[in-house]
Amino acid sequence: MLDASAPQLSSPNRTRTILGALTMAAACVAAVLVPATSASAAATTVASDASGRTASGGWGAADKGGTWTTWSGPTKATFAVGGGVSSITGLVPGGSATAALAGVSVQDVEVRETIRLPQTTRGFYQGWELRRQTDGSAYRGRLEQGSSGTIALAITKVGKSGEKDLGRVALPSGVTKGSAVSVAFRAVGTGSVSVQGKGWVAGTTEPGWQLSVSDTAADRIAKPGTVGLWQYSSSSNTTGTTTTFDDLSVVESPQAAVPVPVPVGSASYAVPAGAVFVAPGGNDSAVGSKTAPFRTLGAAVAKAKAGGTVVLRAGSYNESVVVPYNKPLTIQAYPKEAVWLDGSVPVSSWQRSGSGWSTPWSSFPSSALLGIADNPRFLSPSFPLAGRPDQVFLDGVQLTQVTPDKLAPGTFAPDPAGGRVLIGSDPSGHELRISNKQQAIWVQAPDTTLQGFGVRRYATLDSDRGTIRLGNTGATAQDLVVVENAMIGVNLENNGGTLRQLTVEHNGMLGIGANASYDMSLSDSVVRENNWQRFKETPVSGGVKITRSRGVTVSNNDVSRNYSSGLWLDESVYDSKVVGNTVVDNEWTGIQLELSSKAVVAGNTVTGGKTGIQIIGTDDVRVYNNSVGGFSQFGVKVLQDERRQATAATGQDRRRPIPDPTMSWVTGKITIANNAFGSGGYYQVYVLDSKTNRSADSMGVTVTGNAFNQRRTTAQATLVGWGAGDNKTVTRFDTVSALSGKNSAWRNVETSQVLDLGGMTSLLTSSLGIVSALPSDIAALLGQPGTARRIGAF
């Protein structure tokens, strides 16, 4: 909570205020959201301060960015620099202090710094201000230290009417009073301002963004402004507080903003003349005009003319709709209205039954997902009912399916034989919904567009191929929310598809699938927390899986926290470009290329999980300028196994000749260049043929221009593991000098200590002499000039 005595804040007992079209995107909240992003530009460090000087009575001049302007009151605190830190000492209870770089004016900005928090057991609030205007308005990223000892990370907006709370999350328990904490805060965009923040114990693995908000309110701060610090010591403290700061970095035009969700109902597409209208209060016998709308989407699709537009008014529609082959359409929400296709219905007739409650029910979509239920190839013994599509929601929260004998609070059990559904939680005073529909929309017509609405709670079967199934050429899906469906959220099955600005979360097996989709693109989307039912990691589950496709572009997406792999291109994907994505804390692999050919993996930030980037049976891959860290096993893993395209029983693209001369499934010609490897795992780069006796030397792997983490003890990750030709022996290269001995043309650097990605900034900026020249096509994909030189993601 906010301290009642903190300046510029309203009462701490108020309800959190959400203004205009601003929403918080943390944890599961994004289930009702669609993403907004902003374009990227070349990043430039406009201010930095390593606090290497000595100063008293102020902080003097930063290393870059000009002279610090400091202030404190009502009683003066002491500002000083020495011993490698800048400090504020003796901030009295009820006092405030600020420090600003008035000479810096920046719009799209990321601020990073390390702070040593005070030891106080009472309230203390530390803020970093972005886009501060002359009238004092600013975005403020905060660390909030309460009397309980817990630390929260918050984002606020300071304006004429005070400081408005935009979002807050608790930090991990390791972040405590007196600890050294690294923080990063970012503000990007103008029409929609994305503000993000994260905090972690200094020297540990940097997490992904822990808090993201999107501000589209009228008083959003869109203009360039100064940067600085603000702090406040609660009047309940009994002594003055001391804080120290180090390693400030202020970067202008950081890499493209991670897609940030905004509410369903924010889209605003023009309504053309002749559009057909649908409204919950309409009538399917009406004419479908704005004043006499149809009641169902199905009726509107039936009556609309090919090439026409169907407009959905605000509300919820419990339907399954097919767009037939001869009728390309645009289906969209009315401007600024929230529209949901909802595969569930409310159920209120519950009665006590044994240890739980039951309701009569006959609409069981199926007792099993065809070909998957009870199939050990797909199902984990720990989650044996993952393959059952039934779904029940209590106050919007999905209950866990169990067998009737395991019924307990928070669970439900279908009973088709008894014609009922059982729940283990008391339904009194709660809303219960049960999924009664399997598929939302099957698009059979070419050149059809779906835009601006949400789709949720469908009991989708494997045979449905997706809650939204895009089955013909030229399909477009944009500004959609697809959440809490039983199987696959969105599935693309033909050429020329465009998936843009989607939020796809909490789907049972897979967020987005694509197969046989030439010249497809997926961009600016949020794909998080899928494989909610915990299917096995293979043969299919997780965030995104694309197969048997050519000319694939996946760019500027947030593919994070999926319960399997994040982004997986498998089985005959040719000419793919995976660029500028944020891939964080997926359970298995962040980005995987398997049994494919010709790929660019560039400009991605990949952290957490078991493996960052994995390449299996794939050739002609260029891995450039990625930031990879926090992995538990491997940073970049290059493998070969026994599978070959010419002789495989499955996995080939049947539209191509077999064998396909462009697709051998033999690993080779792999360039790993200009990547930054943060701390973590066993190996930062690992190359091995485990089945067919090919040595790493024979695979044509180049490793140059990279920044590795040092290895000084066996507990730290080996820089490079290099496989022999016996399927098992791996030679360790523990220093860059040893690696240069392998190939004298390779130029790499390593840290002088174990560092996460956030701590490597100084090394990355001082080591540009080793950078491998950026190929012109990759530079164009990254939006950089051909002369750009950088290690890690732009």
Q: Is the pLDDT of residue 22 over 50?
A: no
Half-sphere exposure in the Cβ direction for 364 (13 Å, CA): 18
Residue ending a domain, choose from 435, 450, 474: 435
Helix (H) or strand (E) holding 761: helix 761-766
CA–CA distance, 464 with 578 (Å, rounded to integer): 28
Q: Is the pLDDT of residue 9 over 50?
A: no
Residue with tokens 């956030």: 758
Q: Please tell me the predicted confidence (pLDDT) of residue 44.
A: 82
Between residues 16 and 140, the one the model is more confident about: 140
| 713 within domain boundaries | yes
Q: Please tell me the predicted confidence (pLDDT) of residue 541.
A: 96
| 563 within domain boundaries | yes
Neighbouring-strand partners of residue 617? none
Which residue range is the domain that position 738 belongs to?
508-782
Q: Please tell me the predicted confidence (pLDDT) of residue 370.
A: 58
Q: What is the mean pLDDT of the chain?
A: 90
In this prediction, residue 586 has a pLDDT band, given cuts at 50, 70 and 90, of very high
In this prediction, residue 366 has a pLDDT band, given cuts at 50, 70 and 90, of low
CA–CA distance, 144 with 72 (Å, rounded to integer): 19
pTM here? Answer: 0.73
The average pLDDT across 437-452 equals 97
In this prediction, residue 257 has a pLDDT band, given cuts at 50, 70 and 90, of low
Residue 598's alpha-carbon distances to 188, 653, 659, 665, in angstroms, are 33, 15, 17, 11
Q: Please tell me the predicted confidence (pLDDT) of residue 639.
A: 97
In this prediction, residue 210 has a pLDDT band, given cuts at 50, 70 and 90, of confident
In this prediction, residue 786 has a pLDDT band, given cuts at 50, 70 and 90, of confident
Residues in the chain: 794
Q: Please tell me the predicted confidence (pLDDT) of residue 368.
A: 52
Question: Are 359 and 238 in the same domain?
Answer: no
Q: Please tell me the predicted confidence (pLDDT) of residue 218.
A: 81
Phi, psi at 698, each rounded to 5°: -85, -5
Q: Please tell me the predicted confidence (pLDDT) of residue 7.
A: 33
Tens of pLDDT, residue by residue over 591-604, are 999 999 999 999 99
In this prediction, residue 514 has a pLDDT band, given cuts at 50, 70 and 90, of very high
CA–CA distance, 218 with 566 (Å, rounded to integer): 36
Q: Is the pLDDT of residue 263 over 90?
A: no
SS (H, E, C) 232-252: EECCCCCCCEEEEEEEEEEEE
CB 645 within 8 A of CB 651: yes
| 450 within domain boundaries | no
Count of beta carbons in the 10 Å neighbourhood of residue 419: 12
Neighbouring-strand partners of residue 614? 592, 637
Q: Please tell me the predicted confidence (pLDDT) of residue 771.
A: 94
| 446 within domain boundaries | no
Q: Is the pLDDT of residue 237 over 90?
A: no
Q: Please tell me the predicted confidence (pLDDT) of residue 622.
A: 98
Q: Is the pLDDT of residue 10 over 70?
A: no
| 405 within domain boundaries | yes
Question: Are 429 and 536 in the same domain?
Answer: no
SS (H, E, C) 89-123: EEECCCCEEEEEEEEEEECCEEEEEEEECCCCCCC
Amino acid letter for position 572: S
Question: Are 56 and 200 in the same domain?
Answer: yes
Residue ending a domain, choose from 409, 435, 461: 435
CB 530 within 8 A of CB 509: yes
In this prediction, residue 189 has a pLDDT band, given cuts at 50, 70 and 90, of confident
User: How much of the chain, in percent, has pLDDT values that exceed 90?
Assistant: 75
Between residues 192 and 350, the one the model is more confident about: 350
Q: Is the pLDDT of residue 705 over 50?
A: yes
Q: Is the pLDDT of residue 682 over 90?
A: yes
Q: Please tell me the predicted confidence (pLDDT) of residue 489.
A: 98
Q: Please tell me the predicted confidence (pLDDT) of residue 369.
A: 55
Amino acid letter for position 427: P
Question: Are 410 and 543 in the same domain?
Answer: no
Between residues 261 and 119, the one the model is more confident about: 119
CATH number at residue 28: 2.60.120.200
CA–CA distance, 144 with 125 (Å, rounded to integer): 5
Q: Is the pLDDT of residue 15 over 60?
A: no
CA–CA distance, 61 with 244 (Å, rounded to integer): 16
Q: Please tell me the predicted confidence (pLDDT) of residue 761.
A: 78
| 370 within domain boundaries | yes
CB 591 within 8 A of CB 578: yes
Between residues 768 and 430, the one the model is more confident about: 430
| 431 within domain boundaries | yes
Q: Please tell me the predicted confidence (pLDDT) of residue 20.
A: 28
Find the distance separating the first CA and the last CA of the chain, reported in whole Å. 36
Q: Please tell me the predicted confidence (pLDDT) of residue 762.
A: 81
Q: Please tell me the predicted confidence (pLDDT) of residue 121.
A: 66
Per DSSP, 739 falls in state H
Structure token digits, residue 308 = 């026409």
Total domains in the chain come to 3
Q: Please tell me the predicted confidence (pLDDT) of residue 214.
A: 72
Q: Please tell me the predicted confidence (pLDDT) of residue 660.
A: 94
Tens of pLDDT, residue by residue over 117-169, are 998 768 899 999 999 999 999 999 999 988 777 899 999 999 988 999 988 88
Q: Please tell me the predicted confidence (pLDDT) of residue 211.
A: 84
Closest by alpha carbon to 489, among 88, 77, 31? 31
Question: Are 177 and 90 in the same domain?
Answer: yes
Phi, psi at 300, each rounded to 5°: -65, -40
Q: Is the pLDDT of residue 12 over 80?
A: no
Q: Is the pLDDT of residue 16 over 90?
A: no
User: What CA dihedral angle connects 357, 363, 367 and 371, to 10 degrees?
Assistant: -150
| 239 within domain boundaries | yes
Question: Are 640 and 742 in the same domain?
Answer: yes
CB 549 within 8 A of CB 515: yes
Amino acid letter for position 40: S
Tens of pLDDT, residue by residue over 44-86, are 889 999 999 999 999 999 999 999 999 999 989 999 999 999 9
Q: Please tell me the predicted confidence (pLDDT) of residue 374.
A: 75
Q: Please tell me the predicted confidence (pLDDT) of residue 462.
A: 83
Q: Is the pLDDT of residue 11 over 60?
A: no
CB 341 within 8 A of CB 365: no
SS (H, E, C) 669-716: EEEEECCEECCCCCEEEEEEECCCCCCHHHHCEEEECCEECCCCCCCC
Tens of pLDDT, residue by residue over 537-569, are 999 999 999 999 999 999 999 999 999 999 999
Work out whether the CA dihedral 3, 4, 9, 15 comes out positive or negative: positive
Residue 584's alpha-carbon distances to 132, 561, 674, 698, in angstroms, are 30, 6, 20, 32
What is the 3-state composition of the chain as percent helix, strand, coil, each rounded to the nearest 5? 5, 40, 50
Phi, psi at 292, each rounded to 5°: -135, 70
Half-sphere exposure in the Cβ direction for 720 (13 Å, CA): 27
Q: Please tell me the predicted confidence (pLDDT) of residue 39.
A: 33
Structure token digits, residue 749 = 């650097």
CA–CA distance, 495 with 216 (Å, rounded to integer): 35
Q: Is the pLDDT of residue 577 over 90?
A: yes
In this prediction, residue 486 has a pLDDT band, given cuts at 50, 70 and 90, of very high
The average pLDDT across 304-333 equals 98
CATH number at residue 727: 2.160.20
For Cα atoms 122, 123, 129, give the angle at the middle one, nearest 5 degrees: 150
Q: Is the pLDDT of residue 536 over 50?
A: yes
Tens of pLDDT, residue by residue over 633-654, are 999 999 999 999 989 989 999 9
Tens of pLDDT, residue by residue over 732-771, are 999 999 999 999 999 999 999 988 888 887 888 889 899 9
Q: Please tell me the predicted confidence (pLDDT) of residue 260.
A: 66
Residue ending a domain, choose from 377, 404, 435: 435
In this prediction, residue 631 has a pLDDT band, given cuts at 50, 70 and 90, of very high
Q: Please tell me the predicted confidence (pLDDT) of residue 3.
A: 33
CA–CA distance, 72 with 4 (Å, rounded to integer): 20
Between residues 564 and 253, the one the model is more confident about: 564
